[in-house]
Amino acid sequence: MEYQKILDTIHDEMSYRDVSGKVASYIPELAKVDRRKFGMHVYCGDNQHFNFGESKEKFSIQSISKVFTLAMGMRLMGEDLWDRVDVEPSGDPFNSLTQLEYESGIPRNPFINAGALVISDILVDQLKDPKQELLDFVREITGDDDIHYDKTVAASEQATGYRNVALVNYIKALGNIKCDVQPIVDFYFHQCSLAMSCEQLSKAFMLFANRGRLLETDKKILKPKTVKRINALMQTCGFYDEAGEFSFQVGLPGKSGVGGGIVAIHPENYSVAVWSPILNEKGNSELGMKALERLTTLTGVSVF
Ligand code: GLN
């Protein structure tokens, strides 16, 4: 497969793009990002990789981090985790406070904020130093120690994250949060502030394309069953109330973040990350979705 040629075609097709759309602004620090940024990186199972644009530039991965914390949560709790979080698409925006009241505070899935905050509670409760352990995990699966939290982004979200604080309080009132509110949101705002490039993200997500094993050493990090569950959740819940549209357009399990990043995988085959900060009305990267639609159309490789 001539991936580089296909990526160059996508880059050319999108070179005269409209950059007038909106970037995320409810986290003040994210509003400062240059809206013209555009990069894509594909990592293949045979360790070859291809890219265009700003694929080595780091950006705020935001909700993409929910896949990493879910993997850590499953390593700690196995199938018991599903007593705390459900596995159904919500059809609601990422930061919705609905659908909790009648479910005893059980969020619909781990990829909406409510679900990710319950996972944060689990990690804060069970790990000695959750922030360091998350960094260690992401660095190990990426094979790259140059991955850090962006403290300015974390502080910016802490200063304005009333909705997330409200969610934790609400779920705690319903009985599905154990720890104190502040350490949970502090961990959550830090995980969202992780700064990574498309190159690093596509490498990290090879874990989910490679049955839970590291590509170079074949070291087992996650059970194949865990990977199956996480990939299924990315397929059905990775894009909030646009999960159906992403499946329909792209046909891969994936996860987006309001920083404008999207990661998607093809089991056994490849992992791809794309970044363009302009978001559509559902909070997913507009150009990122288009670029991924072109990738699976031009390669003819999707899970469907
Ligand atoms: N940190 C963001 C929030 O909680 C993440 C949202 C996202 O990327 N969809 O609001």
| 24 or 20, which is more confident | 24
Domain boundary assignment for the chain: 3-299
Task: Give yes or no for residue 199 CB within 6 A of ligand 1.
Answer: no
Q: What is the CATH number of domain 3-299?
A: 3.40.710.10
pLDDT of 134: 98
Closest ligand 1 atom to the C-alpha of 193?
Answer: 1
Task: Tell me what pLDDT residue 15 has.
Answer: 84
CA of residue 62 to ligand 1 center, whole Å: 6
Q: State if residue 94 touches ligand 1 by the CB under 6 angstroms criterion.
A: yes
pLDDT score, position 104: 86
- Predicted confidence at residue 1, as pLDDT, reads 75
**How far, in Å, is the centroid of ligand 1 from the Cα of 113?**
7
Least confident of 11-25, 47-61, 116-130, 217-231: 11-25
Q: Ligand 1 within 6 A of 258 CB? A: yes
pLDDT of residue 197: 98
Closest Cα to atom 6 of ligand 1 = 63
Per-residue pLDDT of 219-244, as tens digits, reads: 999 999 999 999 999 999 999 999 99
Residue 16 has pLDDT above 90, yes or no: no
Q: Which atom from ligand 1 is nearest to the alpha carbon of 257? A: 8
Average pLDDT score over residue span 253-264: 98
**Is 240 touching ligand 1 by the criterion CB < 6 Å?**
no
Ligand 1 and 253: CB distance under 6 A: no
Which residues are registered as beta bridge partners of 263?
255, 273
* Per-residue pLDDT, 20: 83
Cα of first residue to Cα of last residue in the chain, in angstroms, is: 18
Ligand 1 centroid to 164 CA: how many Å?
9
ipTM, 2 dp: 0.97
Output the residue whose Cα is nearest ligand 1's atom 10.
Answer: 95
Cβ(65) to ligand 1 under 6 A?
no
pLDDT of residue 98: 87
Average pLDDT over residues 195-207: 98
State residue 101's pLDDT score.
Answer: 77
Q: Is the CB of 238 under 6 A from ligand 1?
A: no
Tell the burial category of 157 from Cβ atoms under 10 Å away from its Cβ (0-12, 13-18, 19+): buried
Model confidence over 55-96: pLDDT tens digits? 999 999 999 999 999 999 999 999 999 999 999 999 889 999
Indicate whether 133 pLDDT > 90.
yes
**Closest atom of ligand 1 to CA, residue 113:** 4
- Please work out whether the CB of residue 284 comes within 6 Å of at least one atom of ligand 1: no
Quick one: pLDDT at residue 269?
94
- Name the pLDDT band for 103 (thresholds 50, 70, 90): confident
